[in-house]
Amino acid sequence: MSQNRIVWLLALIMAAVSAWLVHRTIQEQSKVKPAEIPTAQILVAKMTIPARTVIKADWVELKAVPVNAIPGDAARSGKDAVGKITRSEILAGEAIRKGRLLREDELLGLPLMIPQGYRGMTVKVDEIVGVGGFVRPGDLVDVLVTLNEGVVKEDEKVTITLLQNVQVLAAAQEMESPAGEAAKKGKVSSSVTLAVNLQQAQKLALAEENGKLRLVLRPLNYVESEQVEPFYTKNLVIPKKQPKQVKKVVYRPQPVAPKKPNKVEVISGAKISHVDVD
């Protein structure tokens, strides 16, 4: 047997052995099962659900998700979310979390406080606008607006009493009047919700766009309205009172006529003469 044939034979044997070893390895690996990752079913959104929207049953579905990827407040069944109102937008495929849904006390609290025929309108305020933080639900306030220059006159601001005797429904997230120490300290609010009709809501929205709102706290049980004129910048400058002009009286003495001397007629014989007598 020649040397070349021996080399080829050895190569074929080695290739056959290698192929057998690869086949054996693949068979062994196919018998080994991959480690299973534990999963659990949670409720996810099938579509994007807008904020402040009632969730419908066909908008959500149960989906198996790895346990280590499930949020702690994830809804586990339809009863945890269907029929409830979203606090913020939930994207398609996102887990339905209980913290993203309005609680029952949040849902029922404010609407029940709105008087019949009115609406709840929220306006942004700060510590000064909100009467130093002492505006609380149930209070009555007047709403003032200082309009920017150019709204009424080019170079002048004006403050008007926009609304009177308006009920405060909520201050920031507070919908119940505080008691005890909380009532004494007050609360600095970032927003105030007022009970207004539709016409008042329009005025309030326009005023907020064109000026700065301020709340004036009313005394208890004071519900009368007053006729108030707009107050312009020029009214802040009080003109100086001019002193009353006093008519000058010039004393001019009247001319005195010269006093006529008294004369006495003297007759001496045939001679007549006159003599001055003081």
Model confidence band, residue 186 (pLDDT cutoffs 50, 70, 90): very low
| Cβ within 8 Å of residue 82, ≥6 positions away | 55, 56, 57, 60
Model confidence band, residue 18 (pLDDT cutoffs 50, 70, 90): confident
The string of pLDDT tens digits covering residues 210-251 is 888 888 888 877 778 888 888 888 887 766 566 666 666 656
DSSP 169-195: EEETTB-S---THHHHH----SEEEEE
- Rounded mean pLDDT, 108-133: 70
- Alpha-carbon gap, residue 265 to 275, rounded angstroms: 6
- Burial status of residue 56 (CB atoms within 10 A of its CB: 0-12, 13-18, 19 or more): exposed
Higher pLDDT pick, 261 / 227: 227
Percent of the chain at pLDDT above 90? 23
pLDDT value, residue 114? 79
pLDDT value, residue 249? 61
- The DSSP symbol for 85 reads B
- Rounded mean pLDDT, 197-219: 91
Residue 195 has pLDDT above 90, yes or no: yes
Residue 253 has pLDDT above 70, yes or no: no
- Alpha-carbon gap, residue 74 to 66, rounded angstroms: 13
Model confidence band, residue 174 (pLDDT cutoffs 50, 70, 90): very low
Fold of 39-102: Type Iii Antifreeze Protein Isoform Hplc 12 (3.90.1210)
pLDDT value, residue 8? 72
Residue 89 has pLDDT above 50, yes or no: yes
Model confidence band, residue 53 (pLDDT cutoffs 50, 70, 90): confident
Task: Determine which of 30-39, 78-87, 124-133, 197-206 has the lowest per-residue pLDDT on average.
Answer: 124-133
Model confidence band, residue 199 (pLDDT cutoffs 50, 70, 90): very high
Task: Determine which of 32-46, 207-221, 244-258 has the lowest per-residue pLDDT on average.
Answer: 244-258
- Which structure tokens are listed for 222? 């004071």
pLDDT value, residue 117? 86
pLDDT value, residue 139? 87
Residue 67 has pLDDT above 60, yes or no: yes
pLDDT value, residue 13? 79
The string of pLDDT tens digits covering residues 134-169 is 788 888 999 999 987 767 766 788 899 999 999 988
Higher pLDDT pick, 233 / 203: 203
Q: Which helix (H) or strand (E) holds 215?
A: strand 211-217
- Rounded mean pLDDT, 57-61: 93
Model confidence band, residue 176 (pLDDT cutoffs 50, 70, 90): very low
